[in-house]
Each structure stands twice: as structure tokens, then as C-alpha cells.
Structure 1
Amino acid sequence: MKALTHKRTHKRTLLASALLTLLATSYDATTNVAVAKEHEPDPYTSSDFGGVGLLQTRTARMNSEGHITIGYSDTDDYRRTSITLQVFDWLEATARYTDLRYSFYSDDEEFSGDQTLKDKGFDLKFRLYEESRYLPEVAVGFQDLGGTGLFGGEYFVASKALSTEHLGTFDFHLGLGFGYLGQRDNSYNPFCEIADDFCVRPRRGSPGGGDVEWDKMFKGPAATFGGIEWRTPLAGLRLKAEYDPNDYQSDRLPLPIDPENPRVIVQDSFWNFGAEYAINDFLNLKLGYQRGNTMTFGFSLRYNLATAYQVKTEAPIRDAKYSSAENFNDVDIQKLSQDLLNETGLRVKEVQLNDERKDVTFYAEQTRYRDREEAVKKAARILSNELPEDIQRYAIAETNDGVDLLQYNVNAPYYKSAARGERFFREEDDAITISHVTRDSRATGTDNTTATASKFAYSITPHISQAFGGAEDFYIYQLAVMGNGSYHFSRNLKLNGTVGLNIINNYDKFNFLVDDLENPLPRVRTRIREYADNQDLWLQNAQLSYIDQAATNWYYALYGGYLERMFGGVGGEILYRPLNSRVAFGLDLNYVQQRDPGNSFSFEDYDVLTGHASVYWQPTLLPDSLIKVQAGRFLAGDEGVQFDVSHQFDSGVRAGAYAAFTNVSREEYGEGGFTKGFYISIPFDLFFVRNTRARGTVAWNPITRDGGQMLNRSIHLYETTEARGFAAGQN
């Protein structure tokens, strides 16, 4: 029987290969058809699942780096909401929720009420080959990776575009799918040639989902899929036709709302058709007719995070001029410091002049500018214009939380001649170098009144905590206002705290604590309802901290108090971070006790010793990316490793994902399998005409459980010493 199947499907494979060869053919311009490279590459439209595609299937196309799409599609049985981010030009990531309209979330009405089932999914697509003149673009993808497996599958797909002079662009796609994308079983699985195990796809194992089921990948029946997208001459209109690889006979619809008449998906045609229209650069609307019997609709919101930019109203760099100060005593240091703060964001803490009175160093903290290069260029021009002409060097030593980070050294004569245009072939940037901070004990210190004023600082910020996909309600949230304050007793010793004021929340719906599910782990995070719902005014954190340097590349911090909303205690951290290095190493150790959710100043009985050894790596092969590996003991006493990978776009927006794997068994952990999540950190200066270093983070945690949870420390030396990272001074 296996041999007969092989012969039957081998013909289909040959047909697919012939079609792929046809798609790879490129015509000459004399035939009025241009080569693929001449068609507009971006942005491409999304499938119903999210991610660049046709309707039910993906294509090999990738949008430009930083492109983000939020999409919604309604295909009657399934309503899907997705967010897709093009992390690199070769990597696309999609997070998705699928609402199963005709299925309950659970069979326990007290637990989930009448909420319909929400299935979580995460997809990845990698480009294997970029389209060339004669060959198509090729990609491999993984659907519902680490989810419940309800829509889990893998695929290879190729895409080739042909652009015409008058008829628009035709983009052809052909793929081979497995799992959910192989249900039609109309092709031979080529991996069967490697081992017979690839011919059979194992049944889904762990209940509750969350595991990455490596043993299933590229196994079992396979199906050919494909189609065409026509970018019509009418601006914004695209038409799609698709051959569906799924026959829907195996779609599982658990816990039907109407048990007497459970929903069965009927397919009258293998072909799906759709139209998508771009209203503007940000909004697309789409309609479709699928399975030969179902009208579908949806929309997508599109934006590019990498190219986001906000025009500033900051003062421009000053014109170069000659200084009127004959000696250093003629300089109004207080006014000069205020100018630096207003125009460059540098808050001067201390000024030192060497014995020969030829070198002057400004020790300052960068308060507003993410682009340190821009700030330093402005500062160098201010110093050049205001300091005496006989000064040979000015230095700006950047500090943060009382520790020295790096020093910008300005060769004054060289800089002045370049800025004033007195010498040809001289550039101002060549006069500025970066080094470790140097402190001369013999230098003369100059009092600066701005240092006294900056001992106390405060801010008021909005804050939202949220969770998606819960049994009680799809979206659980708390909106609050946070008041932050700090006081510096000295350069290194600081007291800081945060008070929260609840505005609105629906955490009273979160009932995990009071259900009947047994949990062998200490409840270090799943008691979130009590913390969010018991107090409208609470002390978020309050701690005394001491941060200093042990040596040139070594930093350490000691801290104690109410460290976060759920835990208080004492701890410390050390960090080794060479200047301009791609690698750093850290170690933190904390003894903490669980705080009382009903009283901000009280503690409960549970305590734990937690801490991690950390490696931070900015790899050459992944520019502007950070890989963080932290191994140690987590809050619930479990031990393991957390991986965190993030990438920062040119705009400053940072996107990342993390996962923690510990010695807690899947049964002990519960639904979700392991702790994981995704986040996007957005710099606020994308919204304001003035520079600011403040950020806001939008996080997505598929499910909150107690294993693999880390202490939310407010002090992280790697972030404190950000300016020392690779490409130092430009971070």
C-alpha cells in the first residue's frame, strides 16, 4: 500500500516541480514583462493567519525590516487576531489568537462562563533564498509553534513575480505543507526518503499546549498549495486566488456550544478567492469567498517601526565662534552647565580643571538624548565657543547613577580649526575620541549648583499591566498612575520609590487562586489578582541602593527594601563590562520574602534565595541585537535558564522574546508548558518634539504561571551601563 501511494504521489510531485520551474522563468523586457526585481517589494499583504500570504496560506515574501501588521480575519468558524513583526529582512514572527466561535472555552461554567475558546499561536518564517532574475524567493515556515498544536504545521514555499507595463504585477506562489497544511494529502512527503518515521505524524502529546513538538515537524501527510496575487493597475487593489491544502475534515472543534448539532466545516471547493484594498498607507480592507460556500472579511493596520521618526524642535547646533573668555575664571560655569542641560541633555555634576589649566572635564549625566553622538556634537560646539582659546582639551565624562561610563575627549585646537573652517580636509568628528573616564586627584574641582538641585527627582507616568487569552475574560488589565521619586544622599547612595494609584482594572475576574487546580509550586505570580484588586493606593517599591565601580570594567550594586510589587528583601549584583565590547558578564543574588497583597508594608511567610549568572552578547551576525542568557534559581525555587533575544531598529524601537526552561515538570508547571513572552519597547521621543530617554513597553505573555519567574529588580547594571556597549557612545 505504501508503494502504491509513492507512485501515485510521485506524479503530483513531478507536476509541482514543473510548475515551480515555470514560476522561475523570467521574461526579457522586450516582451513588455519586466524581471522580478523591478516590482515594488513592500508592503505585502497578510493571510488570514497573519504573516505575509494569500488567504489560508503563506507566501515566501517578506516585508521590510521593522514592518508591523495588526490583522483581523473572520472566516465564520474562526475569528483570528494577529500581530506580525518583520524582525529582520529574513525573519518574520507572528503571534495570534483564534476565537473558535462554536466552541466553549471550558466545560466549567463557573471557571470560564460562556466565553468561547481562544487558541494561542506563534509562527516563524525564515527566508532561505532571496529572489533573483531566474530563481524564486524561497522560505520555510512553522505555524502554531509552541501553541496548542490545533493549527500546527510546517511548510516550504516559493514565490516569483512578473511585472507588466500595463497589467500590473502577478506574484505566483507554490508550496508544500505538512501537519495542518498537509491535510489534503495530495503530495508525497519527500522526507520519507530519509526515514519511514517521517511518513507518520505523531498525535499531539501534552494537554494544554505550550510545548514545541519537535518530533512532529515535517512528518505525516503532505499537500501542495499555491496561488496567485494580482496587484492590479488600480492603485491599492489586489486580487487573490489560492489552492487550499486543507480539507477541514480533521479540524477539531472541542466542547461544542450546541452538543446536539456539533459544528462540521464543509468544503465545496478547493479554491479560495479574495480581494484586498489599501485605503491608505496604514489600513487595508479585505473580502473573500472560501471553501466554495463561505464569505470572509477582515482588515489590517500596517506601520514600519524601523523608519518611525518624529521631527524635533530642539535648538540646532550653534554656529562656531571665537570665545570672549580670556581665562577660565571668566567662564560662568553655572550658565554653561544650564546651556548644556537645555541643549544637549547633559546634566553637569562636577567640573575639574587640571593644574596646568589646559584640560577641563565635565562629569555629566545624559538625561534626554538617546542619540549620544548628536548630544556630544552640540556640547563640543558649546564648549568650543565658551571656554578660553588656550584650553587644549575638553572632556565630557558621562556618568549614570553615580558610576563612570565613558569619556568623550575633544582635541580643542583641531576641533576649532575644523568647526571654523580654518583648515581644509579637517572634520570635527575626527577631533573627538572615546576612552575610559579618568579622574585626576590633583585637578581643581569647580562647584556646580546644578548638582545640589538634582539630588531630588520625581516623575508621574501612566502604567498598564495586562494579560490576554484568560479563561475568565480574554483581556484582563489594570490602568494606574505611578508616582516615582528618588533622593541622592551622595554620588553613589540613592533612595528611590514608586507609589501606584489604581484608575481602573478588571482583575476581579481573574480567579486562578480560588479554583480547584492543585499547584505544587509556591504561588509567586498567579496571585496577581490579589495584588491588583486589594488596594487602590499601594507602594510599588521603595529601596536604598548603593552603586559603584570596583575597577575600570567592574561595577557593583547593593540594594534593599521593597524591591517590587510582590517581593521585598536585599540583594546585590556585579557586572563585568569592558568598554566597546560585544560581551558582558553579570551575577546577582537576592534574598526575598513575599509581600502581603493587602498591606504594602507587611510580609508573608514565603521566602526564597534567588539569583542568576548572566551573559550578554551582541553578536556580529545579528547587528543591533542582544542575546541574554541567565542561569540560576527562580522565585518559585525552581532552577534553570532563561533566554532573551531582542533586536533594536534604527528608530530605537526594540522587539524581543524570552523563554525560561527549568527543572519543573510539565505536570507541575501546568498549562503553557514553560514561561515565555514577547515584548516591544518603544522610545517616547517618537511621540514628542523634544528628546527623551523614557520608554514604554508593551508585553504579551500567553499565560501566567509560577515556574520560571524572575525577580523584577529596578536596578540592572547592564542597563545602567548601556553607553559602554558595542559602538560605545552611540547607544
Structure 2
Amino acid sequence: MRIVLAAFQQLPVGFKLMPKHLYRHIPASLALLAATTVYAQSPSFSLNGTAGLIDMPTAQMLPDGETAWTFSNSSTAYGGSLTFQMLPNLETSVHFMTLPDWTAIGEPLFAQSLDLKYQILPESGSMPSVAIGSRGFLTNGPLSSEYIVASKSVGYGMTVTGGLGWGRLGSYRPIGTISTRPAADSTLGINHLFTGDVALFGGLEWDTPVKGLSLKAEYSSDAYTGEQVFGEFEHESPLNFGIDYEPIHGVSVGGYYNYGSDFGLRLTLSGNPNRPIVSPDFGIGPVPVNPRLGDYDRSEGWADSPMTTEFLVSALAPVLEAEGIVIEEARITGNTIDLYVSNNSMPQTTKAIGRIVRTLSVALPHSVEVFRITPVASGLATTTVEIRRSDLEAQVDRPNAGPDSWATTRFTDASNHLPESAWTRNIYPDFNWSLNPIIPVNLASNGAAASVDVLLNASASYRLSRGFSVNGSLTQKIVGNIGEDAETSTSSTPVRSNFALYQTGGPTLDRLTADYDFKLAPSTYARVSGGYLERMFAGVSGEVLWMPTSQNWGVGAEVSAVQQRGYDDMFGFEDYQTVTGHASFYWDTGYNGIEAQVDVGRYLAGDIGSTVTLTRRFTNGWEVSGFVTLTDMSFEDFGEGKFAKGVSLSIPLRWTMPLETRSATGVSFGTIGGDGGARLELGERLYTTIRDYDVVDFNETWGAFWQ
């Protein structure tokens, strides 16, 4: 409580206290925030899917990496959200909510918001945890609010929370005012942050002796003013009560009695990349390193025979293929071996490299000292990893093998092919296919809300050479309601707003392209694609990426000339044509697996703007990303907030099943059908293809080298 009260002692000029009699509305339980040395308990989920009470936030944080999908329903709002603990002290949430009866004619309002909560101080000893947060960050919309909150565990499973709120959280019986808050107009800006009326909120949570069961009570500082203007909602009390139950780990339900007049329900499904459903399968153990004796034969005469390379590669190939590693090209001299390889099963490339060099230490003549391994991704040679055999022999099974091997390994940009005299795998043409589930979730869009599809995607690739391939993708809806009851767009550039017209129910051709991936230089990658690029557009697309392996950033450019595909004709076309393109900057921060991407250019509807994407990638293959797009399209055409936002999640199948595989399944949350900020949905851009092969990524996963 000292933290909360200290805020009043340093309020800025212009703050005006309300009459003292309003303080009687502060719950008496807030006094329990006084010094009590009790360790914090695990947080539970609020009605909107974040770590919190019911409507009010707490200062608690979810476990690092925790990802939660929440679907909630009450008389004031319904919809869904995705909450991601991006860092140990930073919680992020994206909400797509429907606010019923918000307008004079009784129409609902689809509200999107990006929420951030940053924990300033963790709970320790007698001190509470303290956090600062913003709901509807950077957007002064109907859900916007800011707060400072403190939480403290006080023993017997009790946690007490108290805080100050602005915006919506400052609307019920405010105790003061900080300047004037602009009227909510759903536009971007920062002038509204921590301004206007400020009110107190608080609450209590009891983690009962019954496993998974907790009880909550809170004093809400949200007056729900907007909900009462045109709707039948009545705010009869600031007190809310709730019960949360987690029957099994990762599944949480909640029931709430709110405002003295309404009931609310919540379902949350959560997972954590650091807590797999099944124990990982590390596969068969590695081949032991076979150290050479001090007086080993150093002669290189064996390499003079032109048949030697073919003989050795023929012996190595089946051994490595048993590990899911395929030799694409090879060259062997008296003291060096160069291998270009494709890793088809091991999640970490560093693990595949470790398995390869162990095998080489056993299979190759003693004079071969230098192992040069180059991973190949989608036909592109990426980074050459050079390891000296003597270093491998000296480091294996030693206490500092990890850092020592990293220090002695050399990384360089690879040429796309070895010299013409090198051995080349003669297996083209090559055919591959895959089946994957896809679950798009449309939580708010033109004419539809809270719709979900479960799709089965079949993809195939017919590779005519290492760089040239023909790729196709078909999707069949299994069940779902995305696109149902959606209205035909009246936009002059309906690049996405007529998405429902493409939902035929039968198989849809998502992609049929000819693609050529190549390198202009060892650190410069290129791609040319032509055909049916995605479900809604066909044409030609080209891309260039400069990304040296020794640095953690790169730049790229992409340009495409496309025509809109037919709504009900798999191979037909509409009249709309356009040219779209972007310049991109990529940055692997090296901090907790976080990557940043900025794209600037022209979108499908002709609008000019920028997209900022943040991604956190975990070493086991989990990936969570979120994007925000802002363009020069008018507010009326773009829609709520004048910018687009969304999140996506990729979960490796080996997190859910005991398999050694690189396959993953994905879930995306966002708005479907917005014309502003719409970009081509290409199969795989260059950065996505090669990002696993720079020095930063190798460093993060080097622990798998000795597995």
C-alpha cells in the first residue's frame, strides 16, 4: 500500500482531490497490503484473459512464455483474446471484442485493443509487486484505460490488489483529475495516456484448499458509461464476484456476477513452450567420436582417385539419412570435406551438424582435418559451419565442451553451389507432400464476429532442381463459420473485404506457383515466383534479401504485379489489378529470442504505409508474433482504429507428440476482411527461409550440438 499511497505524494500540477467522503468506498481489504512476508502465488486469469481479478488488473505476471487463448461472454462484451507473456516482466494481449447495443440504432461495435502490462517491481519480502499498464495502447477507443497497480500475497492463499485507474478505469467515483482527457475517437495517439479522471480499484483473491479452485471479489472503477447510453445494461454496484476453476492444467473456466446485475463466463486454454505436453524425444543417441591416435597416418594419396568421393559419400549417405539428413553436394580433398546437406527432421540445425561431424570423425580417413558443413534450406545454401577435427576430438565429453566448441567454430556465407567437379545428388525431379491442420480465428470483422474455421491443408512440392520447384496448396474446410452472414463489400478496392465470397465450402486452391530461389552473392538471396500466388491474387513476385551470416540484421525488397482471382472460379479472374511492394528491415535482437521486422511500402489496395512485427521464437520451435499496420487509407475505409493488428502462433508437433520432427501447426488471431494494410500472403518469404542459419540463431541453439 505504501507504493500506491506514494503516488499521491508526487502527483503532477493540476491534480484535484475529490471530497474525502468518497474514500469510504475503498475496500477495507486493501489495508492487507501492509508488510507481510509471504511469497507470491501463481496468478489466475481475468474475464478478458489477462492475469488479473475479474475486470480489474493485478500486478502479477504469468510464467515466461505463457500463451493463453480466452473466449468470454457477458452483457457488456463478448469475443476473444490472446495473451502472451513476451518477457518475464512484460505481458501483452490482443483483444477482439464485440460491444452490443453500442449505437443509437442498436448495432454492435467491434473493438480491437492491444494491451500492455509492465511489472516495475516483483513481489519480494514485505514489498508488493508493482505494475503499470495500458489497455488499448496508443488508441483512444472505447476500451482504453491506464493504471498503476500493486499486488501482495498475505498468506493462507490470499492475494490483495489495489491500484489507480484512468480512462475507463477512472470513470466510477473518481478521486481526482489530471488535466483533460480527449474524447474517445478510436484514433492513434498518446495525448490521452494517464490523463483525465483517476479512480481507485482493488480486490481480493483466495486460492482455496480445493485444487484449481479460487474465489475472487473486486471493487471496480469502471462505470460502464458507454454501455448504458443506448443499451439496457444497468450498473447497480461496483462490486464483482467470481469463481475460477482449473480442472486440468492448461484449461481454466470462470463464472462471474458483475455490476449487481449480470453474469459473465470465461474459457481459457493456455500452454507454455517451456512446459511440453509430452516429454521430448531425443531420438537415437549420437555416434561416439573416434579420436585419432598421435601417430595417425597423415598421407593424402587416397584422395587422388576420382572414385574416392563417390565411394565415401555412398557410405555416408545411408547413415545420415537414418537421422533425416540428406547430402545434396559433396567435395572431399586430402584434408577437407565440404558437405551441403538438407535437414529434414531434427528441429535444431546445430544438432544435425553435431551428428554429422561425429559421423565424419568415424568414417573419414585420418588426414581429413577440416569439416565444412553447409545447411540447405528450400534449395538455398545458407551458412558454412567449419569445424576442425582436432578440436572436436579434444572437446568431446569435456565439462566445457559447449562454450569451447562454439569458440573454435567458424561461420561464413556459403556459395550457392560447390564447384562443378563436386559430387551432386542425382535425385531430381523430387516430390514431397504434407498435411497440416490450420485454425484461423476471426474475432471481429465486417459483418461477422467470433468465427472460427478448422481447415485441413494439403501441400505439395515438385522440385525439378535444387532451386526450381512447382508448389501447390489445397485447403478443405472441415468445420467452421468464417464468412457466414458476411455482407458483400461496397469498397472501391475490395482486396480483402469480399473474403466471404471465396468461402465456397469445397476445396480451394490456395497456391499453384513456379518458384526459383537462388543467390546473387554469398550473402544475397533472391526469389522469383509466378502463378496463383494466394487464394485471392495471382501474378508474378520477386524478392531480394541481403543477410550476411555474421550479422544480426538484414534488408530486403519485394515487388509484385498481381490480379484479383475469381470469387467462384478456381482459375478465373476479376478486373482488379495492382502493383504492390515493400522495403523491409529485419533484426534478430539476440534477446530472449525476440525478432523485429519493419516493412514500408505499397499495399494491395494502393495505400502507402508500414507494418511493424515483433516475434518471439523459442529454441524448441514455438513462435508467437504480433503485427501492427498503419497506412494512409482514410478512417472510414480502414475501419476501427485506423490500423490493423493481429497475432499468430506456431506450435511444433513435437511439443504435443513424442516425435523428432520439424513440422508445426499454426493458429492466427486477427481481423479478416480489412482492405487497409493488406499484403500478399506468399508461401514463404526469404527471411523466413534462412533466418535459422545466422550466427545469432546458431548461438542460441548451440547447446543441441552435442546432443
Equivalent position of 1:411 in the other structure: 388
Question: Deviations along 1:597-652, whole A, 9 cap, x unmatched?
Answer: 333333332211110010011235x4311111111111111111111111123432
Deviation at 1:158, TM superposition (A): 1.2
Equivalence map 1:93-132=2 (5 Å): 93-98=92-97, 103=101, 119-132=111-124
The 1:105–1:220 alpha-carbon spacing in structure 2 relative to 1, beyond 3 Å, is closer
Name which structure has the greater RCO, CA cutoff 8 Å, separation 6+: 2
Equivalence map 1:73-472=2 (5 Å): 78=77, 81-98=80-97, 103=101, 119-145=111-137, 149-163=141-155, 168-189=156-177, 192=178, 198=179, 200-205=180-185, 209=186, 211-212=187-188, 214-232=190-208, 235-248=211-224, 250-253=225-228, 256=231, 263-267=232-236, 269-292=237-260, 298-308=266-276, 310=278, 311-312=280-281, 314-321=283-290, 329=308, 331-343=311-323, 345-354=324-333, 357-419=334-396, 432-437=409-414, 445-448=422-425, 451-452=426-427, 455-470=430-445, 472=447
Give distance in 1, aligned partners of 2:679 and 2:388: 46
Pairwise CA RMSD of aligned residues?
3.8
Unaligned runs of 5+ in 1: 28-34, 193-197, 257-262
Equivalent position of 1:531 in the other structure: 502
Deviation at 1:363, TM superposition (A): 0.9
- Letter in structure 2 aligned against 1:612: H
Equivalent position of 1:69 in the other structure: 68
Question: Deviations along 1:343-374, whole A, 9 cap, x unmatched?
Answer: 1x3211111012xx221111112222221222
Give distance in 2, aligned partners of 1:532 and 1:15: 53
Deviation at 1:7, TM superposition (A): 5.1
Paired positions, count: 676
Equivalent position of 1:648 in the other structure: 617
- Letter in structure 2 aligned against 1:353: I
Equivalent position of 2:588 in the other structure: 618
The 1:59–1:119 alpha-carbon spacing in structure 2 relative to 1, beyond 3 Å, is same
Q: Does the CA contact (< 8 Å) of 2:98 and 2:444 recur in 1?
A: no
The 1:662–1:162 alpha-carbon spacing in structure 2 relative to 1, beyond 3 Å, is same
The 1:576–1:11 alpha-carbon spacing in structure 2 relative to 1, beyond 3 Å, is farther
Give distance in 1, aligned partners of 2:641 and 2:25: 41
Give distance in 1, aligned partners of 2:330 and 2:526: 25
Deviation at 1:293, TM superposition (A): 5.8
Unaligned runs of 5+ in 2: 1-12, 702-707
Q: Does the CA contact (< 8 Å) of 1:558 and 1:573 recur in 2?
A: yes
Give distance in 1, aligned partners of 2:391 and 2:420: 24
Equivalent position of 1:32 in the other structure: none
The 1:650–1:188 alpha-carbon spacing in structure 2 relative to 1, beyond 3 Å, is farther
Equivalent position of 1:26 in the other structure: 35
Q: Does the CA contact (< 8 Å) of 1:675 and 1:704 recur in 2?
A: no
Deviation at 1:384, TM superposition (A): 1.2
Equivalent position of 2:7 in the other structure: none
Question: Deviations along 1:41-79, whole A, 9 cap, x unmatched?
Answer: 43x112222211122211111111111334455555555
Equivalence map 1:444-523=2 (5 Å): 445-448=422-425, 451-452=426-427, 455-470=430-445, 472-501=447-476, 503=478, 506=481, 509-513=484-488, 518-520=490-492, 522-523=493-494
The 1:131–1:12 alpha-carbon spacing in structure 2 relative to 1, beyond 3 Å, is farther
2:571 corresponds to 1:601: yes
Q: Does the CA contact (< 8 Å) of 2:446 and 2:673 recur in 1?
A: no
2:640 corresponds to 1:674: no
Q: Does the CA contact (< 8 Å) of 2:138 and 2:190 recur in 1?
A: no
Q: Does the CA contact (< 8 Å) of 2:512 and 2:531 recur in 1?
A: yes
Q: Match of 2:659, SS?
A: coil
Give distance in 2, aligned partners of 1:558 and 1:176: 55
Matched residues, percent identical? 25
- Letter in structure 2 aligned against 1:52: A
Deviation at 1:338, TM superposition (A): 2.4
Deviation at 1:718, TM superposition (A): 0.8
Deviation at 1:727, TM superposition (A): 1.8
Q: Match of 1:721, SS?
A: helix
The 1:348–1:665 alpha-carbon spacing in structure 2 relative to 1, beyond 3 Å, is same
Q: Match of 1:561, SS?
A: strand
Larger displacement relative to structure 2 (58-67 or 117-126): 117-126
Deviation at 1:229, TM superposition (A): 2.5
Deviation at 1:557, TM superposition (A): 1.8
Q: Does the CA contact (< 8 Å) of 1:658 and 1:678 recur in 2?
A: yes
2:653 corresponds to 1:684: yes
Q: Does the CA contact (< 8 Å) of 2:474 and 2:511 recur in 1?
A: yes
Q: Match of 1:389, SS?
A: coil
The 1:616–1:24 alpha-carbon spacing in structure 2 relative to 1, beyond 3 Å, is same
Give distance in 2, aligned partners of 1:703 and 1:436: 39
The 1:702–1:488 alpha-carbon spacing in structure 2 relative to 1, beyond 3 Å, is closer
Question: Deviations along 1:291-349, whole A, 9 cap, x unmatched?
Answer: 45656554544432343364216211123447999957495523421221221x32111
> 1:592 is matched with which residue: 562, 567, 586?
562
The 1:643–1:273 alpha-carbon spacing in structure 2 relative to 1, beyond 3 Å, is same
2:698 corresponds to 1:723: no
The 1:619–1:245 alpha-carbon spacing in structure 2 relative to 1, beyond 3 Å, is same
Q: Match of 1:610, SS?
A: strand
Deviation at 1:90, TM superposition (A): 1.6
Question: Deviations along 1:21-43, whole A, 9 cap, x unmatched?
Answer: x666535xxxxxxx34xx2543x
- Letter in structure 2 aligned against 1:663: D
Q: Does the CA contact (< 8 Å) of 2:161 and 2:203 recur in 1?
A: yes
The 1:692–1:544 alpha-carbon spacing in structure 2 relative to 1, beyond 3 Å, is same
Q: TM-score, normalised by structure 1?
A: 0.82
Give distance in 2, aligned partners of 1:281 and 1:583: 39
Equivalent position of 1:48 in the other structure: 47
Larger displacement relative to structure 2 (602-611 or 283-292): 283-292
Larger displacement relative to structure 2 (669-678 or 626-635): 669-678
Deviation at 1:145, TM superposition (A): 4.3
Q: Does the CA contact (< 8 Å) of 1:499 and 1:539 recur in 2?
A: yes
Deviation at 1:447, TM superposition (A): 4.9
Equivalent position of 2:531 in the other structure: 561
Q: Does the CA contact (< 8 Å) of 2:515 and 2:530 recur in 1?
A: yes
Q: Match of 1:460, SS?
A: strand
Q: Does the CA contact (< 8 Å) of 2:429 and 2:465 recur in 1?
A: no
The 1:351–1:524 alpha-carbon spacing in structure 2 relative to 1, beyond 3 Å, is same
- Letter in structure 2 aligned against 1:367: N
Give distance in 2, aligned partners of 1:593 and 1:409: 46
The 1:675–1:316 alpha-carbon spacing in structure 2 relative to 1, beyond 3 Å, is same
Give distance in 2, aligned partners of 1:441 and 1:70: 47
Q: Does the CA contact (< 8 Å) of 2:581 and 2:602 recur in 1?
A: yes
Give distance in 2, aligned partners of 1:452 and 1:573: 28
Q: Match of 2:194, SS?
A: coil
Deviation at 1:118, TM superposition (A): 6.0
Deviation at 1:417, TM superposition (A): 4.8
2:642 corresponds to 1:632: no
Q: TM-score, normalised by structure 2?
A: 0.85
Give distance in 1, aligned partners of 2:28 and 2:478: 62
Q: Does the CA contact (< 8 Å) of 2:414 and 2:523 recur in 1?
A: no
Deviation at 1:577, TM superposition (A): 0.5
Q: Does the CA contact (< 8 Å) of 1:656 and 1:678 recur in 2?
A: yes
The 1:308–1:40 alpha-carbon spacing in structure 2 relative to 1, beyond 3 Å, is farther
Q: Does the CA contact (< 8 Å) of 2:460 and 2:472 recur in 1?
A: yes
Q: Does the CA contact (< 8 Å) of 1:161 and 1:169 recur in 2?
A: yes
